[in-house]
Structure 1
Amino acid sequence: MERDVQLVRDLVVAEPGFEGAFDAHVFNEDGVLPHVFFWDVVQETVASFLGGDKTDWRLTLRFLEEQFRLDVPEVAQVVTTSFLFNLPWPDQPGHSLVDHLGPTMSARFAAIRPSG
């Protein structure tokens, strides 16, 4: 199994609140497309940060930080391009979520979006 697909599967195990989105994604896409699935991860993580209760944004950030630190290229690419880059911009609700990124993701976020 490819490492980026394994990332998605491991995330769903770590944060069961993503199970419904995962099931719908697999049904609609006829498989796992990590970059596409992570659009839902971003949306749900921001919603959780803003008070939603479907998932736990802290758990999601902690899991992604741990995975990002492993320095697996396929995982880093998904986390960077499909999670970090899609987090809210400074003028959008939930932008302060970026203040809670772990040190590795925070450094990467600053590199790819220096203006926030």
Structure 2
Amino acid sequence: MTRDVQLVKDLVTRVPAFEDLYESHVFNEDGVLPHVFFWDVTLATVDSYLGNEDEPDWRSTLEFLEEQSALGVPEIDEVIVTSFLNSLPFPGKPGHELVEHLGPVLAAKFARVRPTG
């Protein structure tokens, strides 16, 4: 199993509220595509931050991603940076304030990929 697929499985284990999303991806894609899955994780995380209690808790998701990003594994970083951090709302869009809650490792990577926010 590749590291990026393991990242998805580890997220679902850590934040079980993502299990339905995971199962949907496996069914629809005949497996899980980490970058596609993390696009939906980003949307769910922002929705949770904006107060949608039906979505997985945004704090738990950010905590998990901070820990994984701190490992410095290129395959993991590629998914987190490309398909999560780079997909967060831009300034002036609902949910952009979520970036103020990124841990130090995620915040540094966010600043590199999106220096203007």
Give the TM-score, by structure 2 length: 0.97
Q: Which 5+ residue runs of structure 1 have no aligned equivalent?
A: none
Superposed, 1:44-55 pairs within 5 Å as: 44-53=44-53, 54-55=55-56
Equivalent pairs counted in the alignment come to 116
Alpha-carbon distance in structure 2 between the residues aligned to 1:37 and 1:64:
14
Alpha-carbon distance in structure 1 between the residues aligned to 2:43 and 2:60:
15
2:9 corresponds to which residue? 9
2:103 corresponds to which residue? 102
How many Å apart are 1:52 and its aligned residue?
Answer: 1.2
Superposed, 1:1-116 pairs within 5 Å as: 1-53=1-53, 54-116=55-117
How many Å apart are 1:90 and its aligned residue?
Answer: 0.4
Q: Which 5+ residue runs of structure 2 have no aligned equivalent?
A: none
How many Å apart are 1:91 and its aligned residue?
Answer: 1.7
Q: Deviations over 1:29-50 (max 9, x none)?
A: 0001000000110000000000
Identity of aligned residues (%): 62
Alpha-carbon distance in structure 1 between the residues aligned to 2:52 and 2:62:
15
The Cα RMSD (Å) is: 0.5
Runs of 4+ in 1 over 6 A off after TM superposition: none
